């Protein structure tokens, strides 16, 4: 469904755009219907840039991004099937309007001919689907709702469309632990409706909890990707090993990652792209990481 092929993003920065920052460099992966793929990497690795390109919020410099074979095309039809939810739910609402105005905008744009009572029923159902009580949340201003409630209303809003793909960018980072799990479980529910979810996070344990497949990004490049159990159960790239070793564990001391002394990619004589080390488990060259 979502497919990125050799995608690159170069930002022009500095006076008159004289300098170039390569934020994303030759990235390829896909998201299938009914699965969550997590995009993991340190700050500045290019995760949000990838999300923004998929949502048509910034242009692609090279390569291609398609949804069901169709290139990203910002506009009404595209956003009917592809939506984003972001880290700070408050920034998505206008504080002077009641929070459920986000639903009104969907109706005006996509469903102007649906009669009001039928629309109100659809909104109520979508709000219940995200485990909120319509009577408690509809009709309130954003400041009268919690971050978790606002985040869920944004997901409900997305559910009112014929959604194929949801880009969820750090959506749980401002939530407390119990609300975070609620929202994560909600994303997991979306899978059962056949939606694809790209879950952007720097938190490996949340990605591990939720995602069928994982893409590990470093400095704009994919260093490892594949089935989540394989990527985190048997990390092949030194950077992924560092990430796994850095996950805090209760009642256990921090562990150092085992330093890599060989590059699997070159050991296996791979060239170009990623090495398929085993089925559904790919790794990049790690020569630059070997001491
Ligand atoms: N609009 C922009 N103009 C210039 N450079 C940008 C722009 N947006 C991002 N960058 C640069 O691109 C790189 C990737 O940024 P991006 O926000 O995609 O990373 P990220 O992995 O999402 O980071 P974080 O986890 O901190 O949000 C960084 O070096 C960043 O400074």
**Cα–Cα distance, 198 to 162 (Å, whole number):** 17
Taking all residues of the chain, what is their mean pLDDT, rounded to a whole number?
87
Q: How confident is the model at residue 150 (pLDDT cuts 50, 70, 90)?
A: confident
Q: Which residues fall within 8 angstroms of residue 172, CB to CB, at 6 or more apart? A: 151, 180, 183, 184, 201, 203, 206
The response to whether residue 51 sits with its C-beta less than 6 Å from ligand 1 reads no
Residue pLDDT, tens place only, 222-232: 999 999 999 99
The answer to whether the CB of 28 falls within 8 A of the CB of 6 is yes
CA-nearest residue, atom 16 of ligand 1: 46
DSSP 220-281: TEEEEEEEHHHHHHS--SHHHHHHHHTS--TTS---PPPPP-S-HHHHTT--SS-EEEETTE
**Cα–Cα distance, 66 to 36 (Å, whole number):** 17
CA-nearest residue, atom 31 of ligand 1: 44
What average pLDDT does the segment 182-193 reach? Answer: 81
Which pLDDT score is estimated for 60? Answer: 96
Helix (H, G, I), strand (E, B) or coil at 168: strand
Between 173 and 86, whose confidence is greater?
86
Residue pLDDT, tens place only, 41-58: 988 999 999 999 999 999
Ligand 1 atom at minimal distance to the Cα of residue 41: 21
**Cα–Cα distance, 100 to 12 (Å, whole number):** 38
Ligand 1 atom at minimal distance to the Cα of residue 45: 21
Is the C-alpha dihedral spanning 232, 164, 60, 271 positive or negative?
positive
Which pLDDT score is estimated for 9? Answer: 97
**Cα–Cα distance, 289 to 259 (Å, whole number):** 9
Q: Which of 48, 84, 169 maximizes ligand 1 atoms within 8 Å of its Cβ, making it the mutation to test the pocket?
A: 48
The response to whether residue 201 sits with its C-beta less than 6 Å from ligand 1 reads no
Between 290 and 131, whose confidence is greater?
131
Which pLDDT score is estimated for 159? Answer: 81
Q: What percent of the chain has pLDDT over 70?
A: 94
Phi, psi of 229 (to 5 degrees): -60, -35
Phi, psi of 188 (to 5 degrees): -60, -35
The response to whether residue 44 sits with its C-beta less than 6 Å from ligand 1 reads yes
Whether the complex's predicted ipTM is more than 0.95 is answered with: yes
2-228 adopts what CATH topology? Rossmann fold (3.40.50)
The response to whether residue 47 sits with its C-beta less than 6 Å from ligand 1 reads yes
Each domain of the chain, given as residue ranges in start order, spans 2-228
What is the 23 CA–ligand 1 centroid distance (Å)?
A: 6
Residue pLDDT, tens place only, 55-103: 999 999 999 999 999 999 998 889 989 988 887 767 777 778 887 888 8
Q: Which of 20, 43, 49, 51 maximizes ligand 1 atoms within 8 Å of its Cβ, making it the mutation to test the pocket?
A: 49
Beta bridge partners of 201: 40
What is the 175 CA–ligand 1 centroid distance (Å)?
A: 22
In the predicted model, is pLDDT for residue 251 greater than 70? no
Q: How confident is the model at residue 255 (pLDDT cuts 50, 70, 90)?
A: low
What average pLDDT does the segment 273-291 reach? Answer: 88
The response to whether residue 10 sits with its C-beta less than 6 Å from ligand 1 reads no
Which pLDDT score is estimated for 286? Answer: 87
Which pLDDT score is estimated for 253? Answer: 65
In the predicted model, is pLDDT for residue 113 greater than 90? yes
Which pLDDT score is estimated for 142? Answer: 87
Q: Per mean pLDDT, which range of 22-36, 72-86, 252-266 is the poorest?
A: 252-266
Q: How confident is the model at residue 148 (pLDDT cuts 50, 70, 90)?
A: confident
Q: What is the DSSP letter of 27?
A: E
Distances (CA, A) of 285 to 14, 209, 220, 263, 279: 32, 27, 14, 6, 18
């Amino acid at each position: 469904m979502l497919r990125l092929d050799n995608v690159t993003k170069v930002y022009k920065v500095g006076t008159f755009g004289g300098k170039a920052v390569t934020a994303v460099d030759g990235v390829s992966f896909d998201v299938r219907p009914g699965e969550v793929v997590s995009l993991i990497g340190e700050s500045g690795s290019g995760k949000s840039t990838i999300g923004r390109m998929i949502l048509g919020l910034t242009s692609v410099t090279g390569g291609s991004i398609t949804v069901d074979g169709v290139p990203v095309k910002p506009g009404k039809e595209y956003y009917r099937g592809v939506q984003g939810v972001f880290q700070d739910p408050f920034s998505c609402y206008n504080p002077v309007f009641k929070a459920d105005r986000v639903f009104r905008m969907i109706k005006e744009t996509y469903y102007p001919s649906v009669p009001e009572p039928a629309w109100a029923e659809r909104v109520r159902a979508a709000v219940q689907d995200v485990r909120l009580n319509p009577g408690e949340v509809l009709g309130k201003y954003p400041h009268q709702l919690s971050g978790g409630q606002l985040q869920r209303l944004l997901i409900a809003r997305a559910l009112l469309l014929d959604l194929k793909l949801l880009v969820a960018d750090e959506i749980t980072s401002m939530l407390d632990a119990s609300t975070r799990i609620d929202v994560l479980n909600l994303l997991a529910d979306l899978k059962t409706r056949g939606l694809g979810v790209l879950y952007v996070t720097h938190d490996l344990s949340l990605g591990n909890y939720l995602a069928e497949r994982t893409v590990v990004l470093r400095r704009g490049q994919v260093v490892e990707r594949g089935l989540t159990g394989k990527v985190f159960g048997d990390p092949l790239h030194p950077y992924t090993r560092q990430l796994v070793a850095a996950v805090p564990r209760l009642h256990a001391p921090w562990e150092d990652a085992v330093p890599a002394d060989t590059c699997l990619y070159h050991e296996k004589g791979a060239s170009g792209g990623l090495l398929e080390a085993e089925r559904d488990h790919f790794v990049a060259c790690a020569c630059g990481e070997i001491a």
